[in-house]
């Protein structure tokens, strides 16, 4: 456990950065803003989620750019800029008076301003400190999203109910900044020998460049599997309130179930971290992504009781807990830590596009067909496809096997 003794500070800061960064806040809160915003402005849910789509699709450009900039100016500086930009972005969203174009532009600015608060940055620093326990470290870091999934739904629902949706956007933006910035400033560090040196920030370990990685089949398999899984997970998360509401559950009950899902996300993060350090990671991934397929099958079965809703939330939470952890771990194992940030930034672009279109696809399908049944059936097929893609990854490179020998 010497790795944890040496890297605990960076690990703690990485957890907080992930908790207070763009991906956690947006994924686990937007479902509770849909009703209030659309009611005030007379928009449809797909119109609301189009802003989210713009934000995530802009990541097709910002994610690779952030990965490249991290190698030039350093992880800490760019991470802090992202946390400040995150708060500013949510303030822009909160001052909207019903102008739909401004709504879309605000989400685009959020994507640009907060891009460097993504897990690309927080997980990159772990590679220098953790080798034998890298999976655990990534799992602990990404548990920050689970913490957010636990505390944010009831908190946001309470603020919206008492003070309105504008105050809620401002509160989560400013609150996240106040918590994260001091901790990242004092604790987040790259290991000595990996900081910026003459314009290049690279790990001392092995690894290929992003250009070399993009010439491999594995790079595109990882991108494809991340794209397909994120459509399912983000689609379910962003529409969770509406899916459960259609089953007759009220908003406070749904918020409580969402908090249970958040605890499950934390457990999923940690469990994946432990398991991938011991077993072949793509095989572990197949087990975790069979779970949401089971949950969605239950939703297709008819009336959903409270107990069934909780079980479905647990299935979704475990898959959500596995997703980004798995991609971060597999990126390091198959391509090495040397240019991790740049390569993960490229793969992460697939995540942003999938996450961007998922809420609109789910919401649009429900609106056009009158229920979520069709998109849930399609999503079960995507889970099966993802498991096949994971199995196509094959053995780890020899360098990765020697790294933990």
Query: Could you give the domains of the chain?
Result: 7-403 (1.20.1250.20)
**Between residues 42 and 303, the one the model is more confident about:** 42
Tell the residue number behind the tokens 């830590």, with chain if given.
337
Cα–Cα distance, 177 to 87 (Å, whole number): 6
Q: What is the pLDDT of residues 71-80, one digit of tens each?
A: 788 899 999 9
Above 90 in pLDDT, residue 103? yes
pLDDT of residue 405: 52
- DSSP single-letter state for residue 252: H
Q: What is the pLDDT of residues 379-393, one digit of tens each?
A: 999 999 999 999 999
Token couple for 397 = 């490179």
Above 90 in pLDDT, residue 296? yes
| Of 4, 50, 56, nearest in space to 26 by CA | 56
Query: Cα torsion for 140, 141, 143, 144, to the nearest 10°?
Result: 140
Q: How many CA atoms lie within 13 A of 381 on its CB side?
A: 6
Above 60 in pLDDT, residue 198? no
Above 50 in pLDDT, residue 227? yes
What percentage of the chain carries pLDDT values higher than 70? 95
In terms of C-beta density within 10 A (0-12 exposed, 13-18 middle, 19 or more buried), how is residue 88 classed?
A: middle
Above 70 in pLDDT, residue 192? no
Give the H or E element holding residue 50. Answer: helix 45-73
**Between residues 195 and 353, the one the model is more confident about:** 353
Distances (CA, A) of 159 to 93, 98, 165: 16, 20, 7
Cα–Cα distance, 39 to 147 (Å, whole number): 29
pLDDT of residue 276: 92
On average, the pLDDT of the chain sits at: 88
Above 70 in pLDDT, residue 214? yes
- DSSP single-letter state for residue 303: -
* Average pLDDT estimate for 243-259: 85
**Between residues 136 and 67, the one the model is more confident about:** 136
pTM given for the model: 0.77
Q: What is the pLDDT of residues 324-380, one digit of tens each?
A: 889 889 998 999 888 888 898 889 888 888 887 888 899 889 889 988 999 999 999
**How many Cβ atoms are within 10 Å of 98's Cβ, its own excluded?**
11
């Amino acid at each position: 456990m010497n790795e944890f003794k040496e890297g605990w500070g960076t690990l703690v800061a990485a957890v907080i950065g992930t908790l207070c960064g763009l991906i956690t806040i947006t994924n686990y809160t937007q479902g509770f803003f849909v009703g209030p915003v659309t009611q005030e402005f007379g928009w449809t849910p797909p119109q609301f989620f189009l802003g989210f789509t713009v934000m995530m699709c802009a990541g097709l450009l910002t994610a690779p750019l952030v990965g490249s900039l991290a190698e030039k100016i350093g992880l800490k500086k760019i991470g802090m800029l992202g946390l400040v930009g995150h708060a500013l972005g949510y303030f822009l969203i909160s001052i909207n008076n019903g102008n739909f174009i401004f709504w879309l532009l605000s989400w685009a600015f959020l994507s640009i301003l907060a891009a460097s608060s993504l897990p690309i940055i927080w997980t990159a620093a772990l590679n220098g400190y953790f080798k034998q326990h890298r999976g655990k470290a990534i799992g602990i870091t990404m548990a920050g999203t689970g913490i957010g999934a636990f505390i944010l739904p009831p908190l946001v629902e309470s603020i919206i109910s008492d003070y309105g949706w504008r105050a809620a956007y401002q509160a989560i933006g400013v609150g996240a900044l106040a918590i994260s910035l001091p901790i990242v400033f004092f604790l987040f560090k790259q290991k000595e020998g990996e900081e910026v040196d003459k314009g290049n920030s690279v790990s001392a370990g092995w690894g290929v460049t992003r250009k070399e990685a993009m010439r491999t089949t594995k790079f595109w398999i990882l991108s494809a599997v991340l794209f397909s899984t994120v459509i399912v997970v983000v689609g379910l998360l962003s529409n969770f309130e509406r899916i459960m509401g259609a089953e007759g559950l009220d908003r406070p009950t749904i918020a409580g179930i969402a908090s249970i899902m958040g605890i499950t996300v934390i457990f999923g993060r940690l469990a994946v971290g432990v398991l991938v350090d011991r077993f072949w990671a793509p095989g572990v991934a197949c087990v975790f992504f069979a779970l949401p397929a089971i949950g969605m099958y239950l939703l297709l079965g008819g009336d959903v009781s409270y107990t069934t809703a909780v079980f479905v939330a647990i299935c979704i939470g475990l898959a959500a807990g596995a997703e980004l952890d798995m991609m971060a771990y597999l990126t390091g194992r198959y391509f090495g830590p040397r240019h991790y940030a740049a390569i993960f930034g490229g793969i992460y672009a697939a995540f942003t596009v999938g996450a961007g279109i998922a809420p609109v696809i789910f919401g649009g399908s429900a609106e056009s067909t009158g229920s979520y049944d069709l998109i849930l059936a399609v999503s079960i097929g995507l889970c099966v496809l993802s498991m096949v893609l994971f199995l196509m990854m094959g053995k780890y490179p020899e360098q990765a096997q020697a790294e933990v020998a």
